[in-house]
Amino acid sequence: MAKLQAEADQKGKSSFAFAYYMDTCKEERERGVTIQCNTKEFFTSNYHYTIVDAPGHKDYIKNMITGSGSADAGLILVPAEKGGFEAAIAKADAKLGVDEGQTRQHARLLFLLGIEQIIVGINKMDSCDWSETRYNEIKEEFIKMVTAIGFKPKKVPVIPYSGFNGDNLVTKSDKCPWYKGWKANMNKDTTIEGFTILDALDKLIQPPKRNPEGPLRLPISNIYNIKGVGQIICGRVEQGTVRPGDIVGFTPSGLRGKKMFQIEQHHKQLAAAGPGENVGMSIKGISKDEKVEVGDVIYLEKEGILKPVKSLSRASPPWSSCRSTLVCSSAATAR
């Protein structure tokens, strides 16, 4: 952290040192915004998490969708500062030229992506002197918004915290004696309680049902060409299991007969990768004139060729000059 703090000080952005831990590229640090999705791992007493830090800026919403599409749960953060929260959840108004707030848009996108487990953190509580009134105001408005989107409000904890100072992140803060903790009613027989964001991650979030025995489905999210290493293909296993030595194919690129050579997660080699794991892979047999694309899905050859297209029906056909964007896992196609 000392090195990151020194770099932030040099750029005149001293308060961005913690952000630099996730924002690793030069442009992100110079502009002070997250552009691409970056991942890090951490552990709670019950789980091994991979956190996907998604962009909040409207110019990079496509990257946010791609990163969030691989998530099992969402941690939505809103600022407590006056004006900041109101802008974050603003409704779009074309007549007034007001864009939809990014937090409102992100919450809706999470729900559309099938992510039903969310935690809400009200950040920068120090900016309002840990005001109970401000907390209640934000909580009421936010719960109203996520309920309209489709989330179940009784399952959504709303936690006041300060990321910069570490209050209510891992340990209980003494700066908000009025805050008695969060409570989530999972069903009529189960209530989960906690105080911090770590409590919610450790107690509330439940891994979805996995299918490690099903046919391999591994959408590609990123491709890196690393000097001295070669091509590293990254993605998340949606179902099935893949091991070094397996023969794999890619669709819709159409590449076949490629050998899985090495699988890594957070710089550790894996003997196998199963559902829910974000991994980097070295795959042998891909020549320079063969092109693998972000959005391709990796499958096992022994399980048969994965059919890339299924027919869909709709109430009314597309009209002349209609232009749509189809987002499918990590792929986005505009036509």
Instruction: State whether 62 and 131 are in the same domain.
Output: yes
Instruction: State whether 185 and 298 are in the same domain.
Output: no
Query: Quick check: 192 and 165 in contact, CB under 8 A?
Result: no
Instruction: State whether 110 and 178 are in the same domain.
Output: yes
The pLDDT value recorded for residue 27 is 61
Q: Enumerate helices (H) and strands (E) in the chain, giving the number of each.
A: 8, 16
The mean pLDDT value for 288-307 works out to 88
**Residue range 99-144, pLDDT digits in tens:** 889 999 999 999 998 999 999 999 999 999 999 999 999 999 999 9
Instruction: State whether 141 and 225 are in the same domain.
Output: no
Q: How confident is the model at residue 26 (pLDDT cuts 50, 70, 90)?
A: low
Q: Does residue 9 sit within a domain?
A: no
Instruction: State whether 55 and 191 are in the same domain.
Output: yes
The mean pLDDT value for 301-309 works out to 72
The pLDDT value recorded for residue 202 is 96
The pLDDT value recorded for residue 307 is 61
Q: Give dist(CA 95, CA 76) in Å, integer.
A: 29
Q: Does residue 262 sit within a domain?
A: yes
Instruction: State whether 192 and 233 are in the same domain.
Output: no
Helix orientation angle between 102-112 and 132-149, rounded to the nearest 10 degrees: 40
The pTM for the full model equals 0.76
Q: Does residue 254 sit within a domain?
A: yes
The pLDDT value recorded for residue 96 is 78
Q: Does residue 69 sit within a domain?
A: yes
Instruction: State whether 158 and 260 are in the same domain.
Output: no
Q: Does residue 193 sit within a domain?
A: yes
pLDDT value at 286 more than 80: yes
Q: What angle do CA 274, 221, 266 make, to 5 degrees?
A: 55
Supply the DSSP string of 1-38, one letter for each residue: -HHHHHHHHHTT-GGGHHHHTT--SHHHHHHTS--S-E
Instruction: State whether 193 and 278 are in the same domain.
Output: no
Residue 305 CB burial class (10 angstroms; 0-12, 13-18, ≥19): exposed
Instruction: State whether 237 and 194 are in the same domain.
Output: no
Could you tell me the CATH number of the domain that includes residue 167? 3.40.50.300
**Residue range 72-93, pLDDT digits in tens:** 999 999 999 999 999 999 988 8
> Bigger pLDDT: 322 or 99?
99
Instruction: State whether 185 and 242 are in the same domain.
Output: no
Helix orientation angle between 102-112 and 61-68, rounded to the nearest 10 degrees: 40
pLDDT value at 280 more than 90: yes
* Tally of domains in the chain: 2
Q: Does residue 212 sit within a domain?
A: no
The mean pLDDT value for 144-163 works out to 96
Q: Does residue 328 sit within a domain?
A: no
Instruction: State whether 47 and 174 are in the same domain.
Output: yes
CA-CA-CA-CA torsion sign (44, 65, 112, 254): negative
Pairing of strands 74-79, 297-300: unpaired
Tell me which residue of 116, 1, 104, 125 sits closest to 58, measured CA to CA.
Answer: 104
Instruction: State whether 244 and 187 are in the same domain.
Output: no
The mean pLDDT value for 159-174 works out to 94
* Domain boundaries, position 223: 218-303
Residues ≥6 apart with Cβ < 8 Å to 315: none
Query: Quick check: 30 and 48 in contact, CB under 8 A?
Result: no
Dig out the tokens for 91 from the structure. Answer: 């409704």
Q: Does residue 14 sit within a domain?
A: no
Could you tell me the CATH number of the domain that includes residue 259? 2.40.30.10
